């Protein structure tokens, strides 16, 4: 049996460049099916939402805010509204009645996923333009922790596919009306 060298490297072509990469990293990426020369060349800093740890280690040193960070951003036609750490618009559900408790479960929560605090995190993160004093949490029936803002439980909408969209604004869907929130914690009822 021949011992393997610890510093073994391979030459890999990325776009038009040839780079030397540790063999373990190259093979891990190729076996995981996560690396193609076109995807790396097109978006060198992009990291998939559910990226394997090896790909995260290979990404650039710039880090995106955690998805559970609440920020304020402008959305065309609505002004400045609350968004999550990925820039996706956050909504309130009128039947929650500003009570600090969610009434959106089962089918409702499939269309309007609650913004949850991940296991191990102790509190939500206040991002740019958000008042930390208005952030809070509420315990859901399944034991998960949902993030609130000014006592409104926060939700995403499956109809929004990227930042800057608010296709759920003003919808009467799955038991009630849905609106975006201002950084002051008030519902915005305007149509975009």
Is residue 63 domain-resident? no
Full domain range(s) for residue 26: 9-58
Question: Is pTM beyond 0.85 here?
Answer: no
Chain mean position to CA 83? 9
- Please give the residue that has the higher pLDDT: either 38 or 163: 163
Q: What pLDDT digit, counting tens, does each position of 81-106 carry?
A: 999 999 999 999 999 999 999 999 99
Specify if 47 maps to a domain: yes
Co-location of 53 and 19 in the same domain: yes
Task: Give me the chain's average pLDDT, please.
Answer: 77
52 and 118 in one domain? no
> Is residue 18 located within the same domain as residue 89?
no
Question: How far is Cα 52 from Cα 49, in angstroms, rounded to an integer?
Answer: 9
Q: Are 84 and 58 contacting, i.e. CB atoms less than 8 angstroms apart?
A: no
Highest mean pLDDT: which range of 10-14, 38-42, 111-115: 111-115
pLDDT band at 192 (very low <50, low <70, confident <90, very high): confident
- Looking at the structure, tell me whether residues 88 and 138 fall in a common domain: yes
Note whether residue 1 is domain-resident.
Answer: no
Average pLDDT over residues 69-87: 97
Of 81, 87, 98, the closest CA to residue 64 belongs to 87
Residue 3: pLDDT over 60: no
Indicate if 91 and 120 belong to the same structural domain: yes
At 16 the pLDDT is 38
In a domain, 112, yes or no: yes
Q: What is the pLDDT of residues 36-69, one digit of tens each?
A: 333 333 333 222 333 333 333 333 345 778 899 9
Total domains in the chain come to 2
């Amino acid at each position: 049996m021949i011992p393997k060298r610890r510093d073994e490297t391979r030459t890999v072509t990325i776009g038009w460049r040839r780079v030397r990469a540790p063999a373990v990293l190259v093979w891990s990426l190729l076996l995981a099916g996560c690396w193609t020369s076109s995807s790396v060349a097109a978006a060198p800093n992009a990291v998939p939402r559910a990226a394997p740890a090896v790909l995260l280690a290979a990404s650039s040193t710039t880090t995106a805010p955690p998805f559970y960070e609440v920020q304020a951003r402008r959305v065309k036609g609505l002004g400045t509204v609350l968004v999550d750490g990925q820039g996706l618009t956050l909504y309130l559900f009128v039947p929650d009645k500003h009570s600090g408790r969610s009434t959106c479960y089962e089918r409702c929560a499939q269309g309007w996923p609650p913004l949850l605090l991940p296991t191990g995190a102790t509190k939500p993160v206040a991002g740019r333009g958000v008042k930390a004093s208005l952030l809070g949490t509420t315990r859901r029936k399944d034991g998960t922790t949902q993030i609130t803002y000014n006592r409104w439980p926060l939700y995403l909408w499956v109809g929004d596919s990227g930042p800057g969209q608010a296709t759920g604004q003003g919808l009467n869907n799955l038991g009630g009306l849905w609106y975006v929130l201002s950084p002051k914690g008030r519902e915005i009822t305007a149509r975009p």
